[in-house]
Structure 1
């Protein structure tokens, strides 16, 4: 009896700096500055930087928290 094929969906684990810039609506230069200054965490893999989606979320949460503190 034939068995049904199984489909596996692989979710993206890493983003490039350019992808993060697009997600945030920032320019590439600004995003690279945020990465190099450590404001957005990243890891070097070869000659490239990679960023976990969680790290983008952490950056956004910090920016929002700072904005809320200033507004209060």
Structure 2
């Protein structure tokens, strides 16, 4: 049974999490500058797709990038 109340902004944000991330969001997430994220996209280290004039990155691709970095560190 519902109470008829509207959900708070915090409740809605968990329901409507973004499917794509912008390079700026990824930079914040990883603690990088935007230039470093753009460089990693340009070199292919971080996957992205072009959506019109924007670059978009799936959260899974950020996780993949992190795993690759860990594997490189462990192999060295």
TM-score, normalising length: structure 1:
0.84
Q: Which residue of 1 aligns with 2:16?
A: 10
Identify which of 39, 44, 50 aligns with 2:50. Answer: 44
Distance in 1 of aligned mates of 2:34 and 2:16: 26
- State the secondary structure of the residue aligned to 1:66: helix
Distance in 1 of aligned mates of 2:44 and 2:65: 10
Root-mean-square deviation (CA, aligned residues, Å) is 1.7
> Structure 1 residue runs of 4+, over 2 Å off?
none
Count of aligned positions:
68
Specify every segment of 5 or more residues in structure 1 that has no aligned partner in the other structure, as ranges: none
TM-score, normalising length: structure 2:
0.80
